[in-house]
Chain A
Amino acid sequence: MNTTQTTSLIKYLGLHLCLFIGWWILYSHLQGLSVFITYTLLSIKSPSRFGATAEFFFYDTPKVFMLLGLIVYLVGLLRSFLSVEKTRRLLAGKSAVMGHVLAALLGIVTPFCSCSAVPLFIGFVSAGVPLGVTFSFLISAPMVNEIALILLYGLLGWKIAAIYLVTGLSIAMVAGFIIGKLHPENYIEDWVKKLHSDSTQQAAIKISWHDRILFAYHSVTDIFRRIWIYVLIGITIGAIIHGYVPESFMRLVMGVHAWWAVPLAVLLGVPLYSNAAGIMPIVEALIGKGAAIGTVLAFMMSVIALSFPEMVILRKVLKPKLIYMFLVIVTFGIILVGYLFNWVIPVTS
C-alpha cells in the first residue's frame, strides 16, 4: 500500500466513524421520537388502540430502515471481497462434513439471488462440488438472511437472533447432508450431467477501496428501491396487530399450547413470499402479543426460505422427485425447529 492509498483509507475510516456516531445518536433516540410524533405532534389520544398502532409505526419505520441501511452497507463491503466464483473454489474438493459446514456459512455472505439458482447449481456441480453440499448452500443462502438476522437482533434481542442463526445453519447443513445420502445424482436432468463448466474464463479484477465503498453504497440504494414498499406494508400490518389484535386471541391461535400452530404456520408460509425485511415487523408484533417464538420463527423461515418461484426455476435442472425431497426435508426441518423452540422457551415475556 503506498502513501496515497493509506491517507485515503484513513479518510474513509474517519468518515465512516463520524457517520456511525451520527447513526447511533439518532438510533438511540427513536423511542422518544416516536412518542413525540404520535402524542404531541399528531395529538393522538393516549392510551388508545390507534395511538399504540401509530406509535409502533413511527418507531419501527425509522428503526427498520436504519438497521437495514447499516447492515446492507456492511454486508455490501464484505461482499466486495467475495464472489460466487470464490465460494465455488472454496467448496470444491472439501471433505463431506467440512463441505456442508462451509457451504451453509458461505450461503449467508455470498452474493446470491434466487434467479441465479440454476447457473449456480450447474456451475457448482460441474466443478465437482458434491450435490449435498450444493444443496446446503442453496438452502442456507435464502434461509439464513443477514437482513433477517440484524432485524431480529434490533427488534427482539440477541438471543432470538442467535437461535435463528444457529437453527437456520443447522437445517441447511443437515438437510444438505440427508439429500446427499439419498443419491440425488439419479434425479438430475440428464443434460446437466453432461456439462462441463469452464471455471477459468473470468479473470480476477483488482478493486480499490473507493470501488468497494461505491459497491456497498449502491447495494444500499438498490435494496431500498426494491423493498421499501414491502417494509412499509410489513410495518403497517405489524402496527395493526400491535394495536388491535387482543393478546388472548393470539395466545389461543399462535401460543405454545396450540400444537397445530407450527405446521399450519409453515404451510401458510410456503406460498407466501416476502422479503425478509418486510416480514420482520410482523414477527415482532406477533411475539409481542404472546405468539410462541418457535411458531413465529417457523413461519418466518418458511416465508423467506421456501419460495415457489425458486422451485419453478430449479425444475429446469432437477427432476420433480428431487424437488419434492428438497421441499419435504426443509419443511420438516423448519417444523422441527418450531416445536423445539416452543418447548425450550415455553413462555414469551
Chain B
Amino acid sequence: MKKITVYGSGCAACHKLKKLVENLIKENNVTAEVQYSDNFAEMAKLGILSVPAIAIDGQVKSSGSIPKRDEILKWLI
C-alpha cells in the first residue's frame, strides 16, 4: 500500500491538494493511505521549500503548486 503525504502550512491550496488526492484514490480504487502533515522539520529533511507538496512513500513528487490530475494519477498507479 502506498503512503501518501500532503505537506502544507494550513493554506487553502494545501487542503485542496489533499482533497484532490483523496478523490482520485476513491475514483480509481487505489489502495493508499493519505495523510496531511504540517511538520516543518520533516519538510526540511525532505528538502521541501514551498507548499503544498506531495510525497509518495517518502519521495517528494512536487512542491509549490497543485499538480495536474493526470500527473498525480501517474504517481498513484
Residues of A within 8 A of B (CB): 83-85, 88, 111-113, 115-116, 118-120, 122-124, 126, 191, 195-202, 313, 316-317
Chain A residues whose CB sits within 8 angstroms of the CB of B45 once the complex forms? 195-198
Q: How far is the CB of A190 from chain B (nearest CB, A)?
A: 12
Name the contact of A122 in the complex, choosing from B13, B40, B60, B64 (C-beta under 8 A).
B40
A–B pairs, 12, beta carbons within 8 Å: A115-B9, A119-B40, A119-B43, A119-B48, A120-B49, A122-B44, A123-B49, A196-B45, A198-B47, A200-B47, A201-B59, A317-B40
Distance in angstroms between the alpha carbons of A7 and B47 in the assembled complex:
38
Q: Is the CB of A191 within 8 A of B49?
A: no
Q: How far is the CB of B41 from chain A (nearest CB, A)?
A: 6
Name the contact of A119 in the complex, choosing from B10, B13, B49, B59 (C-beta under 8 A).
B49
Secondary structure type dominating chain B contacts: mixed
User: Which chain B residue shows the least CB distance to A88?
Assistant: B49
Distance in angstroms between the alpha carbons of A81 and B59 in the assembled complex:
23
B4 within 8 A of A: no
Q: How far is the CB of B8 from chain A (nearest CB, A)?
A: 8
Residues of B within 8 A of A (CB): 7-11, 13-14, 40-41, 43-51, 59-60, 63-64
Using A111-B50, A202-B60 as known contacts, list a sample of 14 further A-B pairs with CB atoms less than 8 Å apart, ordered by residue number in A: A113-B11, A115-B10, A115-B11, A116-B49, A116-B50, A116-B51, A118-B9, A119-B7, A119-B50, A119-B51, A122-B44, A195-B44, A196-B44, A316-B40
Given contacts A116-B9, A118-B9, A118-B40, contact A111 B47 (CB under 8 A): no
Name the contact of A202 in the complex, choosing from B14, B40, B51, B63 (C-beta under 8 A).
B63
Chain A residues whose CB sits within 8 angstroms of the CB of B11 once the complex forms? 113, 115
Chain B residues whose CB sits within 8 angstroms of the CB of A119 once the complex forms? 7, 9, 40, 43-44, 48-51
Chain A residues whose CB sits within 8 angstroms of the CB of B7 once the complex forms? 119
Chain B residues whose CB sits within 8 angstroms of the CB of A197 once the complex forms? 44-45, 47
Distance in angstroms between the alpha carbons of A88 and B60 in the assembled complex:
18
Chain A residues whose CB sits within 8 angstroms of the CB of B47 once the complex forms? 85, 123, 197-202
Given contacts A83-B64, A201-B60, contact A115 B51 (CB under 8 A): yes
Given contacts A113-B50, A116-B9, contact A191 B44 (CB under 8 A): no
Chain B residues whose CB sits within 8 angstroms of the CB of A202 once the complex forms? 47, 60, 63
Greatest chain B CB density within 10 A among A113, A116, A120, A122 is at A116
Distance in angstroms between the alpha carbons of A201 and B60 in the assembled complex:
7
Distance in angstroms between the alpha carbons of A282 and B38 in the assembled complex:
37
Chain B residues whose CB sits within 8 angstroms of the CB of A118 once the complex forms? 9, 40
